[in-house]
Structure 1
Amino acid sequence: MDLRIFTEPQQGATYETLLTVAKATEDLGFDAFFRSDHYVRMGDVDGLPGPTDAWITLAGLARETSRIRLGTLMTAGTFRLPGVLAIQVAQVDQMSGGRIELGLGAGWFEEEHTAYGIPFPKEKFARLEEQLAIVTGLWETEIGKTFSYDGTYYQLTDSPALPKPAQNKVPVLIGGHGATRTPRLAARYADEFNIPFASVEDTERQFSRVRAAAEAIGRAADELVYSNALVVCVGKTDAEVARRAAAIGREAEELKANGLAGSPAEVVDKIGRYEEAGSSRIYLQFMDLDDLDQLELISHEVQSQLR
């Protein structure tokens, strides 16, 4: 089971804070550092000092880390034109020496669009399908050849399809709870399917849909990685769990029901249930970015038991 650290910087974080967490992620042996791609805070927090851009952040971290994978859960398809996104991700992949992964979603949070003047189209999912075709098509085009695309929403003519990522294949993550279109899109374009904030039962059900969709187009279902994203809150004692839950505005018992919370033993046991449902990777949504002691505890007493 791979454990990855997943942050939500729109809730309030500087680049320096994110760098500190990313370096701790690397030093403590976690597999990857991922971040959300949002421009407006959610819930009752001040969000200060304000948003940081996902791909600018990852470009910086690409030069200041050496081992961990870096990526997004999820880049909003509404934020960037697909051709521009392909260039950005390829460049950051080069800067990292081939450690980048792209989580790409349709975009859903209307408030951040209106706040920063970003169009929020109705046909977001149809646009996402074209974006995936373009980004992957640009990367797959042989050097010296051109890429053209004539879609409903996007048209590219004789693109040089440069630059290329450092990796032969940048892993593409697709996720969500949709019963039909999401599994179909994942089967066609994804290297990894992620379901966020889902129960063990819903996880197993959604993974089965994705596997069936892959097999329906002649793709081996085991070609995909299947993963979860879950909020984490671990403590050595009940009091420590309660304190950490309160620090992120949650209740300990609610987190135990809906996330990975409790003692290291409790969390290891619940991770095992997700593994039985088909998950081989979990993104730990780490909300209190100043609580590096919790990261150390997870590394030493949770991750160590999963290897």
Structure 2
Amino acid sequence: MAPRRLIPILSVLVALAAVVGGFWVWQSRRVQQVDSAIITRPAPELGHQAHQLLPNLTDAVMVVPDRPHDPQEIRADDRARRITRVRRFTVSTNSQGYRGPEIPEAASGTRILCVGDSVTFGWGVSFAESYPSKLSQLLGVETVNVGVPALKPNHMGNWIEARAASFAPDVILFTARPNHARPHPYREYEHALTQAAATGVKVGVVLPPISTFDAFGNSNRAAELQRVQEIAVRVPGGPIPVLELTDAFRAALPRPGYVMEAHAGKQVVRQLPENTVVMSPVAPRRGLAPEIVAAFESDPSFAEPLFFDGGHPDAAGFEVFSAAVATWTRQQLL
């Protein structure tokens, strides 16, 4: 298949993988095999298929894939057999329906509003390990985590327009990549940033790190960053500063684990820190080669440093994430 025809297919796949946390939540409503609590409710006021967290949750248990996976694996009838490597974490929400403790009406000092999807929410880790919590500690300011799994940029823009002012933030961190599952991902992204800038609050864009096991994300990274930077410049009230975190994650390597790179039609997996090639299967039309999936399933030590599922940082990853965001926020927004 020619590269031009392949890009739309990969775009949809990667966008779905980026929101797989939210899909897992919704799927758990219908499938008894998935031992996860229901933690969201529909929020049509924010847009088509938008949702928000349920309020007053206490240690709701989530069971999610602990390895990179194709969204089709979650939809498969035999997913319980396919995905045996899982992780558990708990979710508690306040009376306002956000992860974490109650949010005081007035901030005691600087308040940073962290808007985003499952990455901001802290999918797969505890609230204390999420990047907004770590950022608060590093900067000595108050952060408010309003991240929701699978929230899209257009939903985020609508949420900011309707609700951000009630939190009286000094800074808004807009943490998400364009949604390539949509026909016009950059147009929607620009509209969302325009909504954020219209608040009159300082806004920063954080592009979450891309896993080495995300073939399309890596091939599209440079072009995507350029488009986002162009949008950030022309948004009324801009330029909005942009932080792309993949380089910070790559700089934190090598550390023990496995990474993947696309080369000559193959998915080459290397073991760190030796950088030894351990397998190089032919790249499938989408997703990961079966040999790579089998390695993840059969060996718990077969893991990518700083990520746990090919899209979300683990606790160590969020340390790198929050440190980079803290330095950049201090320089650009405070």
Please give the TM-score of this superposition, normalised by the length of structure 1: 0.36
Please give the TM-score of this superposition, normalised by the length of structure 2: 0.34
